Amino acid sequence: MTIQPSDKPLLEWAGDSLAIGLFEDAVELTGELATLDQKFSGVLKELIAEEEFKGKANSSIFTRVNPGSPVRKLILVGLGKPDELKLDTLRRAAAAVARVGKKQKSKILGFSFPLWNNDPAASAQAIAEGVELALYQDIRFKSEPEDKAQIETVDLLGFGGQEAAIARAKQIVSGVNLARELVAAPANAVTPITLAETAQAIAKDHGLQVKILEREDCEKLGMGAFLGVAQASELPPKFIHLTYKPEGTPKRKLAIIGKGVTFDSGGLNIKGAGSGIETMKIDMGGAAAILGAAKAIAQIKPDVEVHFISAVAENMISGRAMHPGDILTASNGKTIEVNNTDAEGRLTLADALVYADKLGLDAIVDLATLTGANVIALGEDIAGLYTPDDAVASQLEKAAQTSGEKIWRMPMEEKYFEGLKSGIADMKNTGPRPGGSITAALFLKQFVKDTPWAHLDIAGPVWTDKENGYDSAGATGYGVRTLVNWVEGSGE
């Protein structure tokens, strides 16, 4: 599929489906649209009246045009109130159009959309992202391909000169789709071994540096918390460290860390019936996000150095498994009483954070499908943002605003650390149920000494059970777009 800018006047465009974005309560046809309506013998006006189309955000309608005309179908998509227009409104509207266009078996699709904030580059990028994200289809595990109808050409009318913005959208979506594929693939397809191979393939394809630490390397570094989680599995742990270095002196040096538990059985505190154990292939969603971001960043080439880190393992049971109550020593020397083997993500992240903290960077962000408690607090769509650092918090909030991925800052209530006090070790890994996502974040904070740091709990948005905006049911690739924006804009 080619997405391209077009300077063809609306009235002269020819193709299968023409999509027009309309604001709420401004659906009376004036100017060019009135002429277009005349050209198609009043079909637009009739459609709007018949369907009582009001231009509300997330609404769309379409109609056939007389046979023989240069446009076969017209799609109207609502954009809500003009003064409330967000970049994400364009992204979502574009996704809705792409879905309708595909259903209609359109090969050539035209977009006549307004600008967000008088910014043609940001608008073109958002529209292209919406189209690309919505049309992604995962048929890897089907024995027969489903439908063959494909959109071939998308013309963005009035966006002449925005080739770079559209290319950027493609680069970012290539990262999102990699993350989606990694999360959606089951735990017998994505393992610590294959994730390490994926990191190596990204490094090879895009010229990044990569280092994979094996179990023995991690032992030498004293990563007892990470290795405790890995010890029951038949599969070896892999500690991934991928690095992007720009040409010349980097403006900033950053690390993004992802939780990479390729399957979370819970360990001996095994997940019971109704716990969603069969969905726990998603527990490497953080690792998927950082690898997706690596793929996008390697193509976009910002002048920022970025370290992509994940301590990857399976949380399993066997005769070698951690016993509930075991005491582990992390690589910063802190001791942890494992009062619940199902709170494993924070154990893997502890050693990853210590490792990143020693790299002498300007900031660290980790992403993790860390707690069910975060889903209870914020629902399925919103990630929790936990950080003691106001500057990093506002950088991430800004990045998420542009990407359309929802985040919400949560409190780091120090008093709750009391819930992690242990009688025998420095801390327990699990506190009481209330505020469970906050104690998890406070646990992570014990492993960062020197670097500004933020944690995103993505347990909700990593997956969607039903179609949601530009995401189809399944893995969302959550985090990639926000990370790319953060890396590029964090110095501002």
Q: CA 260, CA 460: separation in Å to the nearest integer?
A: 16
The verdict on 283 binding Zn ion (CB under 5 A) reads yes
Q: Residue 158 CB, nearest distance to ligand BES (Å)?
A: 42
Q: Residue 315 CB, nearest distance to ligand BES (Å)?
A: 7
Select the binding partner of residue 162 from Zn ion, Mn ion, ligand BES, none (C-beta < 5 to 8 A, by kind).
none
Among the candidate windows 129-137, 198-206, 281-289, 397-405, which touches Zn ion by CB under 5 A? Answer: 281-289
Select the binding partner of residue 127 from Zn ion, ligand BES, Mn ion, none (C-beta < 5 to 8 A, by kind).
none
Among the candidate windows 118-126, 140-148, 196-204, 343-351, which touches Zn ion by CB under 5 A? Answer: 343-351
Closest alpha carbon to 47 in 76, 4, 16, 8: 76
Burial of 117 (C-beta count, 10 Å sphere; 0-12/13-18/19+): exposed
β-pair type (15-22, 60-64): unpaired
∠ Cα 324 329 332 (to 5°): 145
- Please spell the DSSP secondary structure of 6-72, one letter per residue: E---GGG--EEEEEEEE-TT--S--HHHHHHHHHTTTHHHHHHHHTT----TT-EEEEE--TTSSEE
Q: Pick the closer one to Zn ion by CB: 158 or 345.
A: 345
The verdict on 258 binding ligand BES (CB under 6 A) reads no
Exactly one of 39, 271, 358, 409 is catalytic; name it. Answer: 271
Q: Which residues contact 82 (CB under 8 A, 6 or more apart)?
A: 23, 24, 26, 114
Q: 471: which DSSP letter?
A: B
The verdict on 132 binding Zn ion (CB under 5 A) reads no
Closest alpha carbon to 362 in 305, 311, 303, 302: 305
Q: CA 327, CA 316: separation in Å to the nearest integer?
A: 18
Pattern of binders to ligand BES over 347-376, x per CB under 6 A?
A: ----------------------xxxxx-x-
**Residue 321: what are its φ and ψ, rounded to 5°?**
-65, 155
Q: Residue 315 CB, nearest distance to Mn ion (Å)?
A: 6
Q: Residue 280 CB, nearest distance to Zn ion (Å)?
A: 7
Please tell me the number of Cα atoms within 13 Å of 136 on its side-chain side.
28
The verdict on 264 binding ligand BES (CB under 6 A) reads yes
CA 184 to chain centre: 13
Select the binding partner of residue 371 from Zn ion, Mn ion, ligand BES, none (C-beta < 5 to 8 A, by kind).
ligand BES
Q: Pick the closer one to Mn ion by CB: 264 or 351.
A: 264
Residue 258 near residue 233 (C-beta atoms within 8 A): no
Select the binding partner of residue 373 from Zn ion, Mn ion, ligand BES, none (C-beta < 5 to 8 A, by kind).
ligand BES
Please tell me the number of Cα atoms within 13 Å of 206 on its side-chain side.
27
What count of other Cβ atoms lies within 10 Å of the Cβ of residue 273?
A: 5
The verdict on 314 binding Mn ion (CB under 5 A) reads no
The verdict on 337 binding Zn ion (CB under 5 A) reads no
Binding residue for ligand BES, selected from 155, 305, 344, 471, defined by CB under 6 A:
344
Exactly one of 346, 428, 445, 481 is catalytic; name it. Answer: 346
Binding residues for ligand BES restricted to 265-304, rule: CB under 6 A: 276, 283
Which segments of 255-361 does DSSP mark as H helices, in order? 285-300, 345-357
What count of other Cβ atoms lies within 10 Å of the Cβ of residue 72?
A: 20
Q: Which residues contact 87 (CB under 8 A, 6 or more apart)?
A: 116, 117, 122, 123, 126, 402, 404
Select the binding partner of residue 340 from Mn ion, Zn ion, ligand BES, none (C-beta < 5 to 8 A, by kind).
ligand BES
Binding residue for ligand BES, selected from 165, 173, 179, 343, defined by CB under 6 A:
343
Select the binding partner of residue 436 from Zn ion, Mn ion, ligand BES, none (C-beta < 5 to 8 A, by kind).
ligand BES
Q: CA 79, CA 88: separation in Å to the nearest integer?
A: 10
Q: Residue 186 CB, nearest distance to ligand BES (Å)?
A: 15
Binding residues for Mn ion restricted to 327-356, rule: CB under 5 A: 342, 344
Instruction: Give the catalytic positions in this structure.
Output: 271, 346
Residues that bind Mn ion (CB under 5 A): 264, 342, 344
Residues that bind ligand BES (CB under 6 A): 264, 276, 283, 340, 342-345, 369-373, 375, 430, 436, 459
Residues that bind Zn ion (CB under 5 A): 261, 264, 283, 345
